[in-house]
Amino acid sequence: MLYEITVPYFIKMLHNLEHILEKGARYAETKKFDMDVLLHSRLAPDQFPLTRQIQIACDTAKLAAFRLTEKPAPTHADTEKTYAEFQERIKSTIQYLESLSAADFKGSETKQITTPRWEGQWVTGAEFVSHHALPNFYFHVTTAYSILRHNGVDVGKKDYLGAMPFKK
Amino acid sequence: MLYEITVPYFIKMLHNLEHILEKGARYAETKKFDMDVLLHSRLAPDQFPLTRQIQIACDTAKLAAFRLTEKPAPTHADTEKTYAEFQERIKSTIQYLESLSAADFKGSETKQITTPRWEGQWVTGAEFVSHHALPNFYFHVTTAYSILRHNGVDVGKKDYLGAMPFKK
């Protein structure tokens, strides 16, 4: 059950993140400034820039899936510098998520989940998803979106949400 | 099942929203400017200000619960002007959510959900929650947070995420 409410939406939203970053890169090209300017932009002087928003969005999805399934995840040294490297980071996260199946998440609802920061404390897998993974993931994708929009990139809510599986 | 992954977290995050708005109001008081300035701040000239971020966060939670359960929800005319009225809006949304139980959501996973904007198209309740309600709700809470932080209010990720149900 945790698979169904996480992995497909992590993948969808990471594709949406690729898409809004592409819009940022096109904007930089049109306005003749370096994409690095956007990558190093931030909404507040003591908040992370776009680079870290991308890395943490990826890590939130990757590490949530890893902690719930224990399926080996790709390591990322956070050494990306260029736009192409950040897109590569997202792509490699999506590939990992795509390699997982619902069966890998069997029993994860009640699994004890911890992180290095929690000093031995833990929550159940179901709590981890709803109290941490989902709100944190959406936080960083939204903040990436806001940094782009704040700087004039033509992104809208539909770019963030992506397509809906409409039926008639 | 849809109750468990929505209502408790809508309530939790709306309390976190009350809390960061309180921090904004205290900041305005300390810096001797009118809280209305923060309420009308925005991250981009064509993006909604804090007032609308609060209203839409509330509506996303309220209308998601209403559409899934058909339990009558309070109406809000979007006429709030003052800080106190916005806090009242959040409180009334929380009260509605607190009146619902898991039983009210029985069968909602496969229920056909539509909105006035979707021109007769629909998605299942489960799709509605994961493709729309959760990402849209977190989008607006995060954007409210970012507007405050961008304007110097001392809010951090812990204020956004709130407490974790840690066990030892």
Predicted pLDDT at B12: 98
CA distances from A103 to A60, A107, A162, B35 (A): 21, 9, 27, 51
pLDDT attached to residue A65: 98
Size of interface A-B (CB pairs under 8 A): 122
Contact A43 B43 (CB under 8 A): yes
**Residue B110: what pLDDT?**
98
pLDDT tens by residue, B128-151: 999 999 999 999 999 999 999 999
Domain ranges of chain B: 2-161
HEC sequence for chain B: CHHHHHHHHHHHHHHHHHHHHHHHHHHHHHHCCCHHHHHCCCCCCCCCCHHHHHHHHHHHHHHHHHHHHCCCCCCCCCCCCCHHHHHHHHHHHHHHHHCCCHHHHCCHHHCEECCHHHCCCEEEHHHHHHHHHHHHHHHHHHHHHHHHHHCCCCCCHHHHHCCCCCEC
Tokens of B136: 């849209």
Question: What pTM value is reported for the model?
Answer: 0.98
HSE-up (13 A, CA, CB side) for residue B45:
2
Q: What is the pLDDT of residues B59-69, one digit of tens each?
A: 999 999 999 99
Task: Please name the residue of chain B whose CA is at the shortest distance from the CA of residue A133.
Answer: B161
Task: Please give the Cα distance from B156 to B159 (Å, whole number).
Answer: 5
Q: Is A53 on the interface with B (CB under 8 A)?
A: no
Instruction: Verify whether the Cβ–Cβ distance B161 to A136 is below 8 Å.
Output: yes
Can you tell me the distance from the alpha carbon of B89 to that of B80, in angstroms, rounded to the nearest whole number? 8
Q: Are A150 and B44 in contact (CB < 8 Å)? A: yes
d(CA A103, CA A80): 33
Contact of B32 with chain A, judged by CB distance below 8 Å, is answered with: no
CA distance A9 to A49: 24
pLDDT score for A141:
98
Residue entry with tokens 């690095």: A36
The per-residue pLDDT for range A123-142, each reduced to its tens digit, is 999 999 999 999 999 999 99
**CA-to-CA distance for B25 and B8, rounded, in angstroms?**
26
Average pLDDT for chain A: 98
Among the partner-chain residues B134, B162, B166, the one whose CB lies closest to the CB of A134 is: B134
Could you tell me which chain A residue has the CA closest to the CA of B139?
Answer: A142
Q: What is the mean pLDDT of residues A98-116?
A: 97
Give the closest of A47, A138, A167 to B138, CB-based.
A138
Query: Which residue out of A11, A14, A134 would a mutagenesis test of the B interface target, given it has the greatest number of B Cβ atoms within 10 Å?
Result: A134
Query: Are B43 and A150 inside 8 Å of each other by CB?
Result: yes
With beta carbons under 8 A apart, name residues in chain A contacting B152: 44
Model ipTM over 0.90 = yes
B149 closest CB neighbour out of A9, A47, A145: A47
Minimal Cα distance from A130: which residue of B?
A: B5
- Distance CA(B73)–CA(A52), nearest Å, equals 39
pLDDT tens-digit series, residues B77-90 = 999 999 999 999 99
Confidence of residue B47 (pLDDT cuts 50, 70, 90): very high
Buried residues in A8-22 as b, exposed as e (16+ CB within 10 A)? ebbbbbbebbeebbe
- Which among A96, A106, A57 has a CA at the least distance from the CA of A80? A57
What's at A84, amino acid-wise?
A
Q: What is the CATH number of domain A2-161?
A: 1.20.120.450
Burial (0-12, 13-18, 19+ Cβ within 10 Å), A2: buried
Which pLDDT score, from 0 to 100, does residue A54 have? 98
A20-78 pLDDT, tens per residue?
A: 999 999 999 999 999 999 999 999 999 999 999 999 999 999 999 999 999 999 999 99
Task: Give the gap in angstroms from C-alpha A112 to the nearest C-alpha of chain B.
Answer: 9
Could you say which of A129, A160, A167 has the minimum Cβ distance to residue B139?
A: A160
Q: Rounded CA gap, A36 and B97, in Å?
A: 44
Indicate the residue type of A97: L
Model pLDDT, residue A49: 98
Residues A67/A71/A75/A78 CA torsion (nearest 10 deg): -30
